[in-house]
Structures are given as C-alpha cells and as structure tokens.
C-alpha cells in the first residue's frame, strides 16, 4: 500500500485526487493509495513500495524540524519571465528543482533534472492547474517516476480543461495522444523559437520495416541463436550481446547480419550501431541512454531501421520525436535476462501506452513474457511480442516458437 499525506493548506486538492484514484484502482495501475491530511508541517509526503519523497509547491519553507523537500516545484509564474536557457541550467544543477507550466512561445514547458541534465516537455496550453497538481501527486503515489508523473499531470490538466470535467468519479485516465505534451528534443519543430539549448543534430525519419513480420520478435545473445530462431520460423530477431569485450563481437554481428539476409528476415543489432552500419545490418536497436551518444543521422543515412527501448510515458514521447521504425514497451513483467532500473509495467499500463501511441509507429512488448502470458499481452494491441527465455530456455525451442506463433501471429 502507498500513502499520500497532504498538508492542511492543500486539502482542496482532495476533490481532484479522490476521483483519480478510482480509475487507478479500476485499471490496476499501482498499489492502493491511502490519502491523509497532516496539519503539523507544510510538506507533502509520499511513500510507495520503492521510494519515499516529499514535495513543496512554490517555495513553501519547511520549519527547522523538517528536512528540505525532495522536490521543490515551481508552478506559478508572474511576468517578467526568466530566459528559458537560464532555467534549463538551474534545473540541470539542482536535482530537487521542478518547473511546471513555464510560459513559453505558443504554450508552456515542464522541466526536471535527469542525470546532470535538464529534460522537458512542451504543451500548447497548460490546462487546469489544480488538476495538474492532483495528477502529479497521484502518479507519484502510484510509483510512476517523476518524468512520467509530470507527463500524466500535464495530459490530465489539458483533458480536464478541454472537457470541463468535474470531480464526480467519472474521470478517464489520460490516453488520447492529443492531450499529451511533446518531448522537447532536437527534433521538436519549435526548439529554436522556444529557446531550449541542445548540441544534438536533428534527424530525418527512419526507414520503415515490415510490421506484419514483427508479431514474434526473438532476443538472443549469439549469432548461432539468430540462425536457429530464423530456421524455426521467426521473422524478426535481435542480437543482444551485453559484453562489448567479447573477442568475436564483430564476427558475431557479421554472421547475424548474413543470417538475416539469407532468411529475408528483419535482424536488429543491439547497441553496436557503428558495426551495424559497417556490415549493412537491416536495423539497429538502441536504449534511451544511447540516443544521446549514438550517431543517429549516420544510422538514418545508412538506411538502417531503428528500434528504441522505452519504459514509460516520457520515454515513449521522446522516442516518437525521432520517428523510429518501431519502439519496444517494457519491461512488462519481472525479468531476469536484463538488469532493469524501472519497475515492471504490467498489462494495464501497457494497454494505455499502446492507446497513446496508436498506429503512429509499430510497437513490441518486452520483458518476462512467457507462453502463458503472450495472449493477454497481444490483446493490448501491440504489434508484436518479444521473447527471450521463453525460447532460449525452452526444452525444445522449435516447439516453443510454434506455440508462440500460434498465439501471436494472426491466422498462423
């Protein structure tokens, strides 16, 4: 169970918070949240299974007996406004600082700290302020990371205002793409007008893949396994070798690319984009951190398809800005095949992510998906299902692949 403790002066938020907890429980988006009111201190306190944090809006000072808040949130702005580049630098230097609804050209911006940098989303209008605050707190109490809580809060604020919704237990969790903000990346069309600083290079859309061949997507750790799964009928696969120091890395990649070409299959190389370009791979797959270091323009210009990993709302919005060939959504269930810093998303969150994405880009669900779980994952509307141990640890991989294809491939 999670707890959300409000100071007395924020009690009016309850009329927005309580209705949001109804769809959260209905959709099983997290642990049950207990809300209390605390009149002994000015900070908001949130405790979940994985974190404890405190928040204050607009420099509400804690007394001498209270620690400084985890997040100090600015969400009220009076002209004249600071330059966005100045605020970007302040947030980059201060992990506790969160800016919500900063007025910018043609809308507003939400900014937060991420690993020594500032990240942001932009929106054409800010929406309802009380609804925004309420969703921010509810999402944090449901154990969403800060970046996803901010995205949900802005989407809900817009939806609430657009539809003139009121706290009557009928609010629908944000899911329509039009109410969500856009990730502020170098590919954002108004990046210069807004004044956001970046040294990245904009990139054109990536080549399309054959989405009909994406139903069953195998992740394996050797070129031998690539050859085996393609022989057993898999049409899309990824070579994921986590250790870049393996002596035969280049040979493995070359062999995997050749196997894909021989089978007319879609074989992606995880991480090693320069070698993927060198050996003319069908495609490359990158994690979120790789987007900052990989030469995306070189990948695009070489004609390679691009897949991007995502683990929640913000990362989905960020990936969409680059117009990749597909994105993965995960991890859906607990998995032991790859170290993960995020929480398992679950099928309910997966379904909402898929509704947000719609048909803009093919999607692949990944993480802990077994033969028994594949059907309910597929029913969320994702384009494909990615499996690892369900194949590589099966007694008979060929039979496992046949069973999986019977579940996830239409009319197989």
Structure confidence at residue 71 (pLDDT): 97
- Using the 3D structure, point to which of 159, 194, 229 is the last residue of a domain: 194
Q: Could you give the CA distance from residue 328 to residue 343 in angstroms, rounded to a whole number? A: 15
Please check whether residues 187 and 216 belong to one and the same domain. Answer: no
- Using the 3D structure, point to which of 194, 221, 238 is the last residue of a domain: 194
Q: Could you give the CA distance from residue 317 to residue 312 in angstroms, rounded to a whole number? A: 9
**Do the beta carbons of residue 45 and residue 5 sit within 8 Å?**
yes
Neighbouring residues of 76: CB distance < 8 A, sequence distance ≥ 6: 57, 58
Assign residue 303 the CATH number of its domain.
3.20.20.70
Structure confidence at residue 64 (pLDDT): 57
- Using the 3D structure, point to which of 129, 160, 194 is the last residue of a domain: 194
Please check whether residues 320 and 397 belong to one and the same domain. Answer: yes
Please check whether residues 223 and 189 belong to one and the same domain. Answer: no
Please check whether residues 226 and 338 belong to one and the same domain. Answer: yes
Please check whether residues 175 and 251 belong to one and the same domain. Answer: no
Structure confidence at residue 167 (pLDDT): 43
**205 part of a folded domain:** no
Write out pLDDT tens, residues 115-157.
999 999 999 989 999 999 999 999 999 999 999 999 999 999 9
**Do the beta carbons of residue 368 and residue 344 sit within 8 Å?**
yes
Check whether the bond before 80 is cis (ω within 30° of 0).
Answer: yes
* Three-state DSSP state, 13: helix
Tell if the pTM clears 0.75, that is, is over it: yes
Strand ranges of the sheet holding 71-74, from the earlier edge strand across to the other edge:
33-38, 2-7, 44-47, 52-57, 71-74, 97-104, 107-114, 117-123, 182-183
**392 part of a folded domain:** yes
C-alpha distances in angstroms, 334 versus 1, 312, 367? 19, 15, 7
Structure confidence at residue 168 (pLDDT): 45
Q: Map tokens 């859906």 to a residue.
A: 332
Regions in the chain scoring below 70 on pLDDT: 60-66, 164-171, 337-341, 412
**204 part of a folded domain:** no
Q: Could you give the CA distance from residue 310 to residue 395 in angstroms, rounded to a whole number? A: 31
Range of the domain at 302: 211-408
**200 part of a folded domain:** no
Please check whether residues 185 and 218 belong to one and the same domain. Answer: no
Please check whether residues 111 and 143 belong to one and the same domain. Answer: yes
Structure confidence at residue 164 (pLDDT): 63
**189 part of a folded domain:** yes
Please check whether residues 112 and 65 belong to one and the same domain. Answer: yes
Tokens of 151: 């995205």
Please check whether residues 48 and 87 belong to one and the same domain. Answer: yes
Neighbouring residues of 280: CB distance < 8 A, sequence distance ≥ 6: 257, 302
Structure confidence at residue 67 (pLDDT): 78
Please check whether residues 187 and 242 belong to one and the same domain. Answer: no
Task: Report DSSP letters for 147-174, one per residue.
Answer: HHHHHHHHHHHHHHHHTT--SSS-PPPP
Please check whether residues 229 and 136 belong to one and the same domain. Answer: no
Structure confidence at residue 79 (pLDDT): 87
Biggest distance spanned by C-alpha atoms of the chain: 70
**201 part of a folded domain:** no
Q: Map tokens 């398809």 to a residue.
A: 305
**203 part of a folded domain:** no
Write out pLDDT tens, residues 106-119.
899 999 999 999 99
**Do the beta carbons of residue 404 and residue 374 sit within 8 Å?**
yes
Structure confidence at residue 340 (pLDDT): 63
Check whether the bond before 331 is cis (ω within 30° of 0).
Answer: yes
Task: Tell me how many domains the chain contains.
Answer: 2
Please check whether residues 180 and 309 belong to one and the same domain. Answer: no
Structure confidence at residue 60 (pLDDT): 61
**107 part of a folded domain:** yes
């Amino acid at each position: 169970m999670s707890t959300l403790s409000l100071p007395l002066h924020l009690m009016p938020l309850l009329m927005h918070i309580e209705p949001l907890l109804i769809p959260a429980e209905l959709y099983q988006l997290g642990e049950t949240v207990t809300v209390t009111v605390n009149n002994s201190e000015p900070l908001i306190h949130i405790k979940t299974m994985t974190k404890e944090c405190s928040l204050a809006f607009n420099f509400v000072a804690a007394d001498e007996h209270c620690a400084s808040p985890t997040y100090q949130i600015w969400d009220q702005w009076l002209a004249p406004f600071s330059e966005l580049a100045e605020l970007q630098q302040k947030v980059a230097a201060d992990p506790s600082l969160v800016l919500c609804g900063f007025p910018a050209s043609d809308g507003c911006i939400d900014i937060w700290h991420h690993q020594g940098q500032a990240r942001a989303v932009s929106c054409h209008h800010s929406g309802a302020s009380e609804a925004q605050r309420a969703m921010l707190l509810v999402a944090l109490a449901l154990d969403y990371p800060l970046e996803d809580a901010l995205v949900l809060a802005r989407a809900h604020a817009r939806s609430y205002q657009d539809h003139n919704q009121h706290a009557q237990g009928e609010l629908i969790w944000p899911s329509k793409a039009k109410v969500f903000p856009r990730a502020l990346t170098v590919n954002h069309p108004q990046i210069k007008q807004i004044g956001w600083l970046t040294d990245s290079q904009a990139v054109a859309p990536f080549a399309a893949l054959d989405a009909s061949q994406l139903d069953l997507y195998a992740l394996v750790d050797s070129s031998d396994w690539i050859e085996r799964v393609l022989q057993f009928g898999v049409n899309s696969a990824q070579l994921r070798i986590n250790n870049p120091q393996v002596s035969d890395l280049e040979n493995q990649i070359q062999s995997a690319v050749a196997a894909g070409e021989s089978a007319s299959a879609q074989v992606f190389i995880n991480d090693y984009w320069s070698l993927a370009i060198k050996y003319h791979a069908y495609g490359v797959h990158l994690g979120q951190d790789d987007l900052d270091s990989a030469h995306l323009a070189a990948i695009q210009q070489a004609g390679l398809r691009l897949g991007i990993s995502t683990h929640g709302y913000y990362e989905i919005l960020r990936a969409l800005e680059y117009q990749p060939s597909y994105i993965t959504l995960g991890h859906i269930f607990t998995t032991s095949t790859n170290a993960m810093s995020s929480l398992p998303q679950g099928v309910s969150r997966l379904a909402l992510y898929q509704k947000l994405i719609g048909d803009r880009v093919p999607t692949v669900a990944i993480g802990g998906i077994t033969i028994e779980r594949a059907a309910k994952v597929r029913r969320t509307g994702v384009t494909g299902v990615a499996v690892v141990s369900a194949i590589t640890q099966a007694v008979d991989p060929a039979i496992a692949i046949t069973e999986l294809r019977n579940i996830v491939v239409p009319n197989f």
